[in-house]
Structure 1
Amino acid sequence: MRARLVVFPVKGRNWCFSRSVDTSSSAAADSASAHTPSGLRELCTKISNNSDPKQSNAELLIDFVSNKMNRAWMGLEKAPEGTFKNKIHGLGLRLLARVKPSEMFLKSITKEVSSVEITYPPSLNARLVRRRLRHVAKRGTIIHRKYFYGSVSLLPLTTAFTVLPLPNIPFFWILFRTYSHWRALQGSEKLLELVSDSSAANVNEGEHEHDKLKDAIPDRFVSSTWVLQPSEQLEGLIQHDDGDDGLSKSTISTICKTFNLNAIDALKYRNSM
């Protein structure tokens, strides 16, 4: 499956890295969720009957926990206004707002992705775009591995809050962060694999800089895991709002609507470091 990645500068050295929402990938995710065990008995049965390596069983367990968390979150979202569950949902939204957009981007690179199409404004250097994508992926493998192990170590401590007559919010939050960092780590490793130097290059013809990059690639690379795709439409949207303060919120929202991006995550890049 090919994923479309959109890259553009938002403010100074801050660039936005986001994946376009694909209906086919959403359908695939729904299909995978449908095959995830709904109960502990079904989970134990699948694990015992699974002939795959331990990695497959670990992913099955993580998908099971993720499915349970998603269902619980949907229940909180549908809670009536003013109820305790509704207040917990509001707290969750405030906590999620603090999650860095790069983490959300890396989590979107799933194991089903076999190649990426990188859309960017032609005013950016093609080599720099790929270099920065590799930097994001490589940095993600370091950061999210460290935070994953840190979150795992905190899980036993948060279980102490189960003695209180209230929902163990710290435990579920740390559990979610553990899952989120694990997914971001997997996405980082996958993205680094796709845009590594060993991959072949496909560069859209037309721009002189892109032609030079294409000519520099040996002919033996005939199948590519990444494609550089300059977009004049994206360039026009950026140039329309080019200023010292970076892109405005309205322009970023327009870009997100045009290229099917998550506007909430894209807007976070304006203030990220």
Structure 2
Amino acid sequence: MPTQSFSSISSLTRFGLKLLARVKPSEIFLKSISKEVTSVQVTYPPSLDPRLVRRRLRHIAMSGTILHKKYLVGSVTLLPLTSAFMVLPLPNIPFFWVLFRTYSHWRALQGSEKLLKLISNESTPDKPDATDDADESKNNKKPEQKSQSPTCILLPSEELYQLIREASEEGLDEATIVEICKSFDLNKNDVLKYRNLV
């Protein structure tokens, strides 16, 4: 009897890990952007145009907002249906999975909106209000401009460019990806998962 329960727990664990492996790396990335984040720093090869990098980030943020809003509504809709399984004397895996996905999509949506806000904020000085302009013109003084720190910092990296250039023509092999992950402190599994999805 104990061996049967142990094998059912281990098969349940394997099933759970398979489900978690299906979560997209872009969702993991967006979930990592919390409300406390005040700036984002992007390292890219200098062969790329910085405007293209910024545009790609904006695309990730906008598509993440649309996608996770849609999935959040779908997950919330499924919660009452899966809660009906609570009457069964078994673990309600569908309910807990949908509950986890609801929270996950909510976090990814928050991260998408935060990333979009960080990318949209330019590192230009704040513009004074029209009322401030009128008051300042009366006093014949120039309006003071507050300097704002950049919220999106793009850093071209020659080291990254060299690592990519040394890779084969067919694309980045696993050894190169591992080297890049070591150099830039990235999660190898997430990067490999993203490469396999693309």
State whether TM-score is above 0.5: yes
1:199 paired to 2:125:
no
Which residue of structure 2 aligns with residue 226 of structure 1?
Answer: 152
Which has the larger displacement, 185-194 or 122-131? 122-131
Q: List aligned pairs for 1:105-144, cutoff 5 A.
A: 105-144=29-68
1:51-200 aligned within 5 A: 82-196=6-120, 198-200=121-123
Query: Which structure 1 residue ranges, 4+ long, deviate > 6 Å from structure 2?
Result: none
Residue aligning to 1:260: 185
What letter corresponds to residue 262 of structure 1 in structure 2? N
Match of 1:248 in 2: 173
C-alpha displacement at 1:269, in angstroms? 2.0
- Tell me how far apart the structure 1 counterparts of residues 168 and 118 of structure 2 sit (CA, whole Å): 32
For residues 182 and 11 of structure 2, the distance between their equivalents in structure 1, rounded to whole angstroms, comes to 30
Partners of 2:176 and 2:12 in 1: CA distance: 33
Match of 2:141 in 1: none
Deviations 1:94-125 (A, max 9, x none): 01111111111111111110011111111111
TM-score w.r.t. structure 1 length? 0.60
Structure 2 match to 1:54: none
Match of 1:15 in 2: none
> Cα distance, 1:83 vs. partner?
4.0
Q: Once superposed, what is the RMSD of the aligned Cα atoms?
A: 1.9
Counterpart code for 2:43: T
Unaligned runs of 5+ in 1: 1-80, 202-218
Q: Name the SS for the 2:46 alignment partner.
A: coil
- The TM-score normalised by the length of structure 2 is 0.82
Secondary structure of the 1:114 match is coil
Q: Which runs of 5+ in 2 are unaligned?
A: 125-144
User: SS of the counterpart of 1:271?
Assistant: helix
Residue 269 of structure 1 aligns to a residue whose secondary structure is helix
User: Percent identity at matched positions?
Assistant: 63
Alignment CA distance shift 1:176-1:251 (3 Å): same
**Distance of 2:71 and 2:107 partners within structure 1:** 12
Paired letter, 1:160: A
Structure 2: how far apart are the matches of 1:88 and 1:259? Answer: 35
Equivalent position of 1:77 in the other structure: none
Aligned length: 174
